[in-house]
Amino acid sequence: MIQLNAAVSPCSDDSIDNYFPRPQVESIFKATTVTAKDITSSCNDLEIQYKMIFGRYGDQTTGIPLSAPDLSLKVHVSINSTEARNYYQDTINAITQGSANSGIKLNTQSLSAVAEEAILISSPLGGGSSAYARQGKYVLSVIAGSFAGNPAQFADPNKPLPPILQQYFSEYSAESVKSKVQDLLFLSLGKAKTKLTGTTIPSTGPAETGKDCGPAEKYFPKSRVESIYGKKIIYTILVKAGAVNQAGTKESANCRIFLDPNNSLSGSDNLATSYVVYNSNSLAANAAAKPDNPANIQMNKVADINIGDGGTLWIVGANSPLPTYMMQVHKGPLLLGVLYWNSNNRSKAEDLLRAAVQDSKSSPTPSPSKSVQPSTSKTPETKAPVITSITRSGTKNSDFPAGVFSDFTSDGQALYKYYYGYATIRGKNLSGSVLSSDNKGNLAGDPAIEFRKIESYDNGKMLIAQIIVKTFAKEGATNIIVTNHNGQSKYPVTITITGTQYLQRFYKDKPIFFGGDWPDKAPNSNITNLIQAINKGLSTINNPNYQKLFIIPYIFEADAWNDFAETRFCGDSASRGFRAAGCASPGDSIIYLEADLSDLDWLSQTILHESAHKLHFYNLGKYFPIPSRPSGFQARIKTLSDPEIAYCIYIPVETLGGRFYWFGDNDPLRKPRCGFIYQYGASGVYRDLKNNDYYEHVATLTQAHVFAGDLFNYPEAKNNPAYGKEINLLKEYGFIK
């Protein structure tokens, strides 16, 4: 039963969802809510407990549930800040005193940079974390229980952890849980501060242009911010506008811009823009060289910024959990600034300032004395940018890869990293432009392409810019957008992906993994044929008997298989005497497979063959990923097979040059003998009947029934009733339909 009620105060319309919206809780914890239990105890307290699931190991509906840590969220609303301060201190004292009485010394970290009082507490044993904050009359708490998951309960400890489990245990490591707890606290603080200030956040869409930040848009228009960041503005707050009392200034505006709906500053793209017009160039230059710091907050200079007439980048609170980056430049008496919290957004701040300087055109000048009349000139005609071509610098190609190969993981998966290159844009009226694209790539809508170091040449007829194409960029046609103060222009380019990336994207919703690398651009005929072969093999194991085993195909490109995967996962071929095209073990749900592009039908067959091994293990009671007990299958297959081989003159089979031969027969052509459908099925079988497990007999018989029906037309198979009885037994136990 799924319970999904929200904590609502019995004395008001306030709800805990106003502080911790469930969609954002689930987004931060990468999990889906199973139950949300309201345990609100009074008019002043809102509290809810979440139980969530990360996903399922195996089938997404019936697989083993992977639980996220239990989560408790609480909001205490005091009558005033004094009562809230006492409540906060009593809460922290109770926690620290309780741990001291138990002999446990907790790890604590101050978060006072983000609230009037705040602290992060974690256990020295790892796992659980909690965070508490007071802002005005609000006391907020986030508690995440420790995560006690054990990889051994899912997979063979002697083999690499399947990728889905690697992600699971990484997502809920002690450090990761601590980070998620902080993000939830920052989220709720943003909501509480909004209530304290009375600022209304629109439920949909950005605020109307000019309603909140009209003056600040003079140099930082919303359309430009959205273009550079590749996101829509959720809402804005005008912090300061108009004449400023500070000596030496004439005009200013400061705007907070929210691009991320969760209002959390940690790792977000939210920012603030500002401008100040000083009475002299020197005052603006001094302000750009070092920001005003009346509260004597810790500030460290990061770099000089060569934009306009120069400026600097500073980091405020470098040792706090939420450092702020402050970039300021000046152009004459005009000071321009961008504050941001995501350290990766430096290039975006530079793009905003570069465009703002361009917008200023001739720098604002101080008001002249009454005896001096300013000169006037006709405003030059402006024209929108025009693009005639975009190419990879040094080539005539207009395609850009969505990342490039980087390395292999320890278990053979190809890793890709962002593509860094240069783009050449030709046309006219390109001076002072910023570049962006309409390629969002992922569900969060993050920009998949970024541009840096934009330089203009030939009187605005050419731009050269560093282009960064991220690995999640959507393949196919993409528009590159050039924007300056005269307008905007778009031009199409092509984003390409490799065969590896195509396979990963095609099967992103299925538990299928790929080892090695298919580097050619895709889709192509090889990749299309490979997908057809995979799907053909999967169609043979789509009945409930196989589905309950949560089988995960791990398919390797042929070179990777031959270089390391076969030996690592299936054993040494030299000692075995033949090369394997796949293998399976009872200790996990993975089947390891080779994708030989020259014989893809064999891949389809091997998917079924190795899956039959898994089902055989299950019927033996030896399949460890899920509970299994011995069935009557093994006894019945022995009853049918033992009499056939006790006097079989063709056993044992022999291996020569990697091929299998019936004993005394020099022809390796596959043919049935003694109840076996072909030679490999009798490998490991002896006439003394000792230790005959019939693994390959069952798998080859299953495989041949689906893919090689002509073998049953041999006289041996047609005239020997054992074959028909064995096929009926395989049908009874779900090996074949």
Q: What is the pLDDT of residues 421-444, one digit of tens each?
A: 999 999 999 988 999 999 987 766
97/115 Cα distance (integer angstroms): 23
Residue 466, φ and ψ in degrees, nearest 5 = -70, 130
Per-residue tokens: 422: 């240069």
CB 355 within 8 A of CB 224: yes
| Residues facing residue 4 across a β-bridge | 36
C-alpha distance from residue 128 to each of 69, 125, 168, 172 (Å): 8, 9, 16, 10
CB 240 within 8 A of CB 254: yes
* pLDDT score of 560: 95
Q: What is the DSSP string of 213-271?
A: STGGGGTS-HHHHHHHHTS---EEEEEEEE--SSTTEEEEEEEEEE-STT---TT---E
pLDDT digits (tens, 9 = 90+) for 573-612: 878 888 999 999 999 999 999 999 999 999 999 999 999 9
692, 705, 691, 694: which is closest to 734 by C-alpha? 705
Give Cα 457 distance to the centre of its chain. 38
* pLDDT score of 362: 42
CB 400 within 8 A of CB 392: yes
What letter does residue 80 receive in the DSSP assignment?
S
* pLDDT score of 14: 73
Per-residue tokens: 512: 């299928």
* pLDDT score of 202: 34
* pLDDT score of 112: 59
130/155 Cα distance (integer angstroms): 31
The rounded radius of gyration (Å) of the Cα atoms in the chain is 34
Which 3 state secondary structure label does DSSP give 24? helix
634, 637, 664: which is closest to 723 by C-alpha? 637
Q: Which residues of the chain have pLDDT under 50?
A: 1-5, 148, 198-211, 240-245, 262-264, 294-295, 362-380
47, 147, 152: which is closest to 91 by C-alpha? 47
* pLDDT score of 449: 95
* pLDDT score of 707: 97
CB 311 within 8 A of CB 302: no
Per-residue tokens: 28: 């931060």
CB 339 within 8 A of CB 324: yes
* pLDDT score of 9: 55
165/169 Cα distance (integer angstroms): 6
Q: Which CATH code for domain 386-500?
A: 2.60.40.10
User: What's the pTM value of the predicted model, to 2 decimals?
Assistant: 0.53
Q: Is 227 exposed, middle or buried (0-12, 13-18, 19+ CB in 10 A)?
A: buried
469, 351, 339: which is closest to 417 by C-alpha? 469
What letter does residue 620 receive in the DSSP assignment?
B
Give the helix/strand (H/E) hosting 189. Answer: helix 174-197
Residues in the chain: 737
Which 3 state secondary structure label does DSSP give 595? strand
Tell me the domain boundaries of the chain.
Answer: 3-197, 215-354, 386-500, 524-619, 633-732
Per-residue tokens: 36: 């949300």
* pLDDT score of 189: 72
C-alpha distance from residue 238 to each of 272, 545, 661 (Å): 10, 62, 83
What letter does residue 623 receive in the DSSP assignment?
-
* pLDDT score of 165: 76
Residue recorded with tokens 């910024």: 305
Evaluate whether the domain defined by 215-354 bears CATH number 3.50.50.60.
no
Sequence-distant (6+) residues with CB within 8 A of 513 are 162, 163, 413, 552, 553, 554, 555
| Residues facing residue 656 across a β-bridge | 659
* pLDDT score of 205: 31
Handedness of CA 658, 662, 668, 674 (dihedral sign): negative
